Amino acid sequence: MPKQNTLGHYSLTKIQKFSIAGVATLGAAALAFSFVPGNDQTAQAAEASTASTASTVAFSADARTIQEGVAKQQTAYAGIAKAAEAAAQKQAAAEAKAKAEKKAEEKAKQEREAKARAARDAARKPVYANNLDGWIKESLAIMKKEGIPGTYEGLHRNIMRESSGNPRAINNWDINAQNGVPSKGLLQVIKPTFDAYHVEGTPHNQYDPVANIVAAANYAADRYGTIDNVDSAY
């Protein structure tokens, strides 16, 4: 039993102090032991940490793989787009070439057809002799086309009376010559009359035999009905 000291308090014996100290030491040790993880807990913590690290590494690797895949796809798409553009340009060039060739072929065809028509026309076109007979016949063909009446006989008769068949004949003595407009050519027409009754398609020249005959016949048709009705100066 503890002893009571002079102050009226009890004091512990030496043995009791040692006992209490021992119990306190054991309690602290037990408490400390309870707060220190065991080997299994340490291993589990280490495994968890390792797993977390591995997951992080795996996630990084997956992300890198995805990025690489996306980059490859973009490269592939770019290549496809470039190839498509090149194919489109090639097709456009081919179409333009085909169009140009077709146009050139059509032009060449038209030129060939035009030459063929010209050749046929030339083959069909009569060749008239460069003499009075030929001039009258050519004039009659033009007069028929233009609707101007007249016959070979009527033209020939008036030509022989007016110029004797000389296309360069000129009258320098009659009233027309005195007025400054001499009669000229096969049918002796003056310049105002020739200009007024000239037929397009013939030379605009009084001395041209065909142009002179057709213009004179055109004038005679307008004034007398036909050159066949003319038997004197007209």
Distance between CA atoms of residues 44 and 60, nearest Å: 24
Helix axes 152-162 and 132-146, enclosed angle (nearest 10): 130
Asked whether residue 200 is domain-assigned, the answer is yes
Asked whether residue 206 is domain-assigned, the answer is yes
Q: Quick one: which of 201, 58, 68, 218 has its CA closest to 143?
A: 218
pLDDT digit string, tens, across residues 97-149: 999 999 999 999 999 999 998 888 777 778 999 999 999 999 999 999 999 99
pLDDT digit string, tens, across residues 23-65: 444 444 443 434 444 455 555 555 555 555 555 656 677 778 8
pLDDT of residue 33: 37
Q: Which residue has the higher pLDDT, 1 or 129?
A: 129
Residue 208, SS3 per DSSP = coil
Q: Which residue has the higher pLDDT, 125 or 3?
A: 125
Q: Please list the alpha-helical segments (H only) found in the chain.
A: 14-35, 39-124, 132-146, 152-162, 175-178, 191-197, 209-224
Arithmetic mean of pLDDT, 76-97: 90
**Domains: count for the chain:** 2
pTM of the model: 0.51
Give Cα 176 to chain centroid, integer Å: 65
- In this structure, the chain runs to a length of 234
pLDDT of residue 2: 44
Asked whether residue 83 is domain-assigned, the answer is no
Residue-range definition of the domain harbouring residue 22: 3-29
CB atoms near residue 74 (< 10 Å): 10
Please state, rounded to an integer, the average pLDDT across all residues of the chain. Answer: 82
Read off the DSSP letter of residue 228: G
Asked whether residue 76 is domain-assigned, the answer is no
Find the angle CA(209)-CA(211)-CA(216) to the nearest 5 degrees. 95
Asked whether residue 65 is domain-assigned, the answer is no
Arithmetic mean of pLDDT, 71-75: 85
